[in-house]
Structure 1
Amino acid sequence: MDVADQPRIAIIGGGIAGLSTAWYLQQQGLTNIQLFERDQRLGGKLRTSHVTLPDGAGELLVEAGPDAFISQKPWGLQLARELGLEDQLISTQPARHKVFVLHRGKPEPLPDGINLVVPTEFWPLLRTPILSLPGKLRMLLDLVLPARQSNTDESLADFVRRRFGAEALDKLAEPLMAGIHNAESDRQSLEATFPRFIEAERSHGSVIRGILAAKLKAGKPKGQQLSPFISLRGGIEQLITTLVAQLNVEIRTNCGVQALRYDPTNAPAYQLTLDDGTKIDVDAVVLAVPSFIAAELVAPWADALAERLKAIRYVSTGTVSLAFRRNETNMAFDSYGLVIPRSEYRLINAVTINSRKFAGRAPADYMLLRAFVGGSKHPEVLRLDDQALTQLVRDQLKSIFGLTAEPVWSGVARWNEANPQYDIGHFQRMDQLEALCPEGLLLCGSGFRGVGIPDCVRQGQATAQAISQLFATASA
């Protein structure tokens, strides 16, 4: 089919979800596509900076957004391989303890065998100082407690309290599971964020038994295996630059969409008005943007859809990256990082030692770390300017690690209203949202059916498939 005879498709938003949609449409032979991104750059939060150290000692590779994607969800890995990046994939470096938890002001290693909150090895759980003896025994009660009968969604907090107790929620689930989503555990949808724990309880009556059974079924890994967290040698943005280079569609940056018109009596039914006033008629529109931006575009002709889109909450987050000369620090910290429970009353949420987690992030005699701030825990700290925010982080690092060295470089990244919150009942609301979308209008991205890179890629696949089926049916 000639490009001129193909349906005209507009993708609004040039993050990983929008770009993945374009890629999978292209794989199906549909290339009459225009992608519009208001920003100068593509990739959304997938942003890697290459920073030359001031003393000429080498280069830092600094991530402003995610530094990895998980291999358990295969879609990110699949896309990287489709793009020819197999030889660029890297696993986490070995570490004696992968993660520490701040407990009574002191970093303590997460016990071996803890799967987010689920203990799969009992001796390390019984030995850890992070939990009291009653707290440990309460966690093991999961083995005998009856399974929940209701199929309705519940909060992460309610689930963990019910199966493992309040102490496990405070010390493990809240910093590890709510922390991943920058969420409030009392509002966070378990179904939308950790569905495998629901399945484990339903199928085995106990979450511990369910996770152990899944581990047994997976068997011993064969051959060389990638770690749970995967990145790329050139940083996570390498996924974006490689993807864009292989797209054969029209991509327009610095080009926002000011208005979207829908008129089912016209053919084509959709018309975009760009920021410069240009009008473009298309057959299908993919809204790969935050839900509140999507709401503004559809509000003139779809009130109910707009209201439901606006109801999805977002929080703002930030990161502060710092580089130190190793010989000036006193941190003997063989770990990827530290998570911090709310009960520790700290103004930072977590710390990642980037130079320990992945190779090539800093020269051998330097340490690069990143502190996470804001979110639902401490939104107020983002009101500080960069200098004050950096000093706050340095003060926290001094208090926790005794780190007093002067950084040789620092950088702040801010993500305003960039982290969607999957509140209880999120997927039910998504079903209602999608039912309100007229034919040819599709929602895709982190605000909708999954926040991580693999989930956004999966949504791109599903969106491309839906468009392909729509026009295959129309032409039949």
Structure 2
Amino acid sequence: MARTPRSVVIVGGGISGLSTAFALQEQAAAAGMALTCTILDAAPVWGGKILTHRVGQLVMEAGPDSFLSQKPWGMELCRRLGIADQLINTNPVEKKASVLRGGQLHELPEGLVTFTPTQLGPFFRSGLLSWVDLARMGCDVLIPPRRSTDDESLASFFRRRFGRHACERVMEPLMAGIYAGDAEQMSLRATFPRFYELEQAHGSVIRGMMAARRARAQKVSGGGPRHTMFVTLKNGLADLVAGLTAQIQQAGGVLKAGVQAEALRVRSHQAGRWMYDVMCTDGTAISAEALVLATPAYVSAELVRPLTPMAAGLMDMIPYASTATISLIYPAEAVGNRLQGFGFVVPRSEGRDLIAATWTSLKWPHRAPPEDVSVRCYLGGVGREVILQRDDEALVRCVREELASIVGLQATPHYVEVNRWNRAMPQYTLGHLDRLVQLDAALSRFGGLAVTGAGYRGVGLPDCIRDGADTAAKILHYLHTAPM
């Protein structure tokens, strides 16, 4: 007698929702469980913020352009999808990055971009900090660790460990820039827990970094690392989305694009068992024993509010920042040698509209033909979103003026693309981890209901992939234990 398949609906077709579906199917197959999985998304295309535009030989990312290779979940997913051979490293030659200070670009020491400086000499020569500032940074090895369990902001932590100037000129633009956030508001333990762990374990961030460097050196002593810190796919990250959707459909998953969930209804016919009805804007309803909300926290909040106002209120407390990316394509002969390395970041203290720029075709192979140079600029973020009220033409004019001022790039781009991301970057503000504990408790009454996505346990692609797999495991455990 054939077994009745267990049923799951996933709302949200970004990397989190697709990763959850893929992991659910894999784990269910391994456990011998028959499963039906339906994924729906309001957008007409899959992938959420992963959006690759290909124009001729140009490959442009509207959203994320890479992911960390040190976090294994992205690399492992590529292997499982059979696309690991498409992974490419950053350019091994043009690997430096810079920070703007006083209107001038200063090269960052190698490794600092990933918060693991390999040597201090270049730091001394960079001109970013005075000898007094550098001495203050060195005091990190003398300052006792903070043993309080209270949350601490990024800015407070780095001022305390390294001094005000190091925080403002180096740490803030690098780390807060990843989240398009404000270091004064960001939770250290939610955004960069590694620094908290280094301080607690070694009493000093510098000592902890040195210990980690020694451990890495021993690990790769037989040969260099296979991948650079950041990796991407040769033809764009959209291939990751394509691989996921193909595998999900091949395993029997149902993908419904352009279908928005507008309300939820919960039914229970016996203790410990729920049925979730997802009411859609196209007039249909989808019912399942388990439900995963992989939408932004503010969207998920509206769906669960009638079920648990407490959970909705906690989701409402996760703020989101808006950003824009502007891609510009220049003739290589007009650019000359003005662009060096991978790009630069801009501290808040500089008072600029531009928050960062990437020399895309120098950072990644295969992003533009030899006769072109591809540049991507970033605007917006917490406290700097007012500029996004301008139209596209004004945004392009703004970044062109900034590039002319900072690197002397006065040429006219022959192709321009503006991508706006409204309320797209979640902010892990002080108390974020405590709110997640409360959120889990508020949702615990509803077995088989879970939330996942960048709003909760990590904004990077590997973090979203990991959380999707963890969410799948929780759902599968519930289905195993819930009565048929």
Using the size of structure 2 for normalisation, the TM-score is 0.94
**Structure 2 contact 338–408 (Cα < 8 Å) conserved:** no
The corresponding residue for 2:398 is 392
Task: Name stretches of at least 5 consecutive residues in structure 2 with no aligned partner.
Answer: none
Query: Residue 118 of structure 1: CA displacement?
Result: 6.0
The corresponding residue for 2:18 is 19
Q: Which amino acid letter does the alignment assign opposite residue 339 of structure 2?
A: F
Is 1:235 the equivalent of 2:236? yes
The corresponding residue for 2:429 is 423
Is 1:410 the equivalent of 2:410? no
Is 1:114 the equivalent of 2:112? yes
The corresponding residue for 2:480 is 472
The corresponding residue for 2:376 is 370
CA 1:188/1:475 → structure 2, altered by over 3 Å: closer, same or farther? same
For residues 324 and 386 of structure 1, the distance between their equivalents in structure 2, rounded to whole angstroms, comes to 18
**Structure 1 contact 331–401 (Cα < 8 Å) conserved:** no
- Residue of structure 2 aligned with 1:43, choices 43, 47, 54: 47
Query: Residue 265 of structure 1: CA displacement?
Result: 4.3
Query: Alignment length, in residue pairs?
Result: 469
Is 1:93 the equivalent of 2:91? yes
For residues 116 and 26 of structure 1, the distance between their equivalents in structure 2, rounded to whole angstroms, comes to 34
CA 1:250/1:231 → structure 2, altered by over 3 Å: closer, same or farther? same
Q: Which amino acid letter does the alignment assign opposite residue 80 of structure 1?
A: C
The corresponding residue for 1:334 is 340
The corresponding residue for 1:443 is 451
The sequence identity of aligned pairs, in percent, is 42
For residues 199 and 302 of structure 1, the distance between their equivalents in structure 2, rounded to whole angstroms, comes to 34
**Structure 1 contact 95–334 (Cα < 8 Å) conserved:** no
The corresponding residue for 1:324 is 330
Q: Which amino acid letter does the alignment assign opposite residue 311 of structure 2?
A: L
Q: Out of 177-186 and 89-98, give the one that drifted further.
A: 89-98
Task: Name stretches of at least 5 consecutive residues in structure 1 with no aligned partner.
Answer: 53-58
**Structure 1 contact 117–168 (Cα < 8 Å) conserved:** no
For residues 115 and 340 of structure 1, the distance between their equivalents in structure 2, rounded to whole angstroms, comes to 13
Using the size of structure 1 for normalisation, the TM-score is 0.95
- Residue of structure 1 aligned with 2:264, choices 241, 260, 266: 260
For residues 95 and 166 of structure 1, the distance between their equivalents in structure 2, rounded to whole angstroms, comes to 33
For residues 109 and 234 of structure 2, the distance between their equivalents in structure 1, rounded to whole angstroms, comes to 30
For residues 281 and 210 of structure 2, the distance between their equivalents in structure 1, rounded to whole angstroms, comes to 54
Cα RMSD after superposing both structures? 1.6
The corresponding residue for 2:194 is 196
The corresponding residue for 2:464 is 456
The corresponding residue for 1:8 is 7
For residues 107 and 15 of structure 1, the distance between their equivalents in structure 2, rounded to whole angstroms, comes to 36
**Structure 1 contact 16–44 (Cα < 8 Å) conserved:** yes
The corresponding residue for 1:65 is 63
For residues 439 and 5 of structure 2, the distance between their equivalents in structure 1, rounded to whole angstroms, comes to 28
Is 1:32 the equivalent of 2:36? yes
**Structure 2 contact 97–113 (Cα < 8 Å) conserved:** no
For residues 14 and 32 of structure 1, the distance between their equivalents in structure 2, rounded to whole angstroms, comes to 16
For residues 77 and 307 of structure 2, the distance between their equivalents in structure 1, rounded to whole angstroms, comes to 36
The corresponding residue for 1:124 is 122
Q: Which amino acid letter does the alignment assign opposite residue 452 of structure 2?
A: C
Q: Out of 219-228 and 8-17, give the one that drifted further.
A: 219-228
Query: Residue 8 of structure 1: CA displacement?
Result: 1.1
**Structure 1 contact 268–281 (Cα < 8 Å) conserved:** no
Query: Residue 242 of structure 1: CA displacement?
Result: 1.1
**Structure 2 contact 277–288 (Cα < 8 Å) conserved:** yes
**Structure 1 contact 284–441 (Cα < 8 Å) conserved:** yes
**SS of corresponding position for 1:101:** strand
Query: Residue 264 of structure 1: CA displacement?
Result: 3.4
Alpha-carbon deviations, 1:225-265, whole Å to 9, x = none? 10000100110111001111111300100101111112334
Query: Residue 6 of structure 1: CA displacement?
Result: 2.2
